[in-house]
Amino acid sequence: MEKIFYFEQVGKRMPYTVPDGFFDKMEEDVMLDVKAETAQPKRRKKARTIKIAIRSAIAVAAAIALFFVVRSTLPKSEPVLASADDFASVELAFNNLSTADQDFLIAVYEEDEFINVLTNTEDYE
Amino acid sequence: MPTNDKDIIRAMREDAEKGFRLLMKSYKEPLYWHIRRLVVSHDDAQDAAQETFIRIFRSFGQYSEANSLRAWLFRIATNEALRLLGRQKNVTMLSLDDVTADMLSAKADAYYDDDDAIVARLQKAIQRLPAKQQLAFNLRYYDELSYEEIAEVTGASAASMKMNYHLAKEKIIEYMQKKD
């Protein structure tokens, strides 16, 4: 006589087992890996942000220095009015320079007492 | 209160780590058992399940809410199980069509209890099925996925997976009713 089989006889039971506490352990192992992954990119991102901020600050300082250098070389009789366009074009020109040139300009600005005196005493008439 | 998929998606978007813990609470067992039914050995299932969850975390940004989260997760788990079976056969990645019943009926390890004969026999019957029928049957019978979700997991049409499920059921009944 043929055996009769119904799925209800077995339901969802399976012959497979797992060690005690296996699922909690697996969750903790995976979470450790995940935490390690999320920690690394954050540190890299922070370091990258700081680098970008420092470079931007240097670029702006050098652009301002370049502006005053250019301004100081013009004859006094010609009134010099700094417009927003002047700053923008100087900044653009500075940004187009190589890093070495930018560093050189910054060094010149920082070390040249004459330029520093000019920028400190210059009036904005 | 049980966590639903929408809560998991929202939590993942707000705080990936916190959201992922919710996802693991809901899915660690279903995905492990899904993989286990395919690879059979506990050690292999453990490796594939851990890799599955890491992949889920890494690629969650690619998940589109237009699709079922459950289907997306089972798809990753299925691929990981197939990848593991492929590695054992020195193949980079198996497609469903490459998988033979022989590959899916690997020997069970220490974490196998065949005391209940009818339960063990049912697993044997499932392992003898072609891969698509086996997947269709497992995902429908054990995990209660809709045919549309099964289609998303396997990349086939819902109608085809429905047919595969019914064929699988018929073959299982035939095997279970056969005399030893």
Q: Which two tokens stand for residue A13?
A: 């039971």
Q: What values do phi and psi take at A123, rounded to 5?
A: -100, 165
Q: What angle do CA B164, B141, B162 make, to 5 degrees?
A: 25
ipTM of the complex: 0.85
Q: Give the CATH number, domain containing residue B103.
A: 1.10.1740.10
Residue ranges per structural domain of chain A? 7-121
Q: Cβ contact (<8 Å) for A2 and B177?
A: yes
Instruction: Write out the residue range of the structural domain in which residue B100 sits.
Output: 5-177
Find the residue in B nearest to A34 (Cα).
Answer: B54
Q: What values do phi and psi take at B112, rounded to 5?
A: -140, 125
| pLDDT tens digits along B56-107 | 999 999 999 999 999 999 999 999 999 998 888 765 555 656 666 555 555 5
User: How many angstroms away from the CA of B18 is the closest CA of chain A?
Assistant: 10
Query: How many domains does chain B fold into?
Result: 1
A10 → closest Cβ in B50, B113, B122: B122
Radius of gyration of chain B (CA): 17
A67 to A9, A49, A96, A109, B132: CA distances (angstroms): 88, 27, 15, 11, 72
Q: Cβ contact (<8 Å) for A27 and B25?
A: yes
Given a contact cutoff of 8 angstroms between Cβ atoms, the answer to whether A114 and A121 are in contact is: no
User: How many angstroms away from the CA of A3 is the closest CA of chain B?
Assistant: 5
Mean pLDDT throughout A90-110?
73
B168 to A29, B61, B128, B165, B171: CA distances (angstroms): 36, 35, 10, 5, 5
Q: Which two tokens stand for residue A39?
A: 């920690």
Can you give the pLDDT at residue B108? Answer: 57
User: How many angstroms away from the CA of B174 is the closest CA of chain A?
Assistant: 9
The percent of residues above 90 in pLDDT, for chain A, comes to 25
As a whole number of angstroms, the distance between CA B15 and CA A66 comes to 46
Q: B53 — contact with chain A (CB < 8 Å)?
A: yes
Find the residue in B nearest to A2 (Cα).
Answer: B177
A34, A35, A37, A40: best mutation site toward chain B, by most B Cβ within 10 Å?
A34
Counting Cα atoms < 13 Å in the Cβ hemisphere of A59 gives 19
Burial of B134 (0-12, 13-18, 19+ CB in 10 A): buried
Q: A32 — contact with chain B (CB < 8 Å)?
A: no
Radius of gyration of chain A (CA): 34
Mean pLDDT throughout B101-117?
69
Who contacts B60 (Cβ-Cβ below 8 Å, separation ≥6)?
Answer: B12, B16, B20
The candidate with the shortest Cα–Cα distance to B135, out of B156, B154, B120, B148, is B154
B119 → closest Cβ in A14, A23, A34: A14
| pLDDT tens digits along B4-33 | 999 999 999 999 999 999 999 999 999 999
| pLDDT tens digits along B121-161 | 999 999 999 999 999 999 999 999 999 999 999 999 999 99
A-B contacts at Cβ under 8 angstroms: 86
Mean pLDDT throughout A1-28?
92
Can you give the pLDDT at residue A58? Answer: 79
Mean pLDDT throughout A52-72?
77
Residues in chain A: 125
B12, B25, B123, B144: best mutation site toward chain A, by most A Cβ within 10 Å?
B123
Q: A42 — contact with chain B (CB < 8 Å)?
A: no
pLDDT-based confidence at A87, cuts 50/70/90? low
User: How many angstroms away from the CA of A46 is the closest CA of chain B?
Assistant: 18
Q: Cβ contact (<8 Å) for A34 and B54?
A: yes
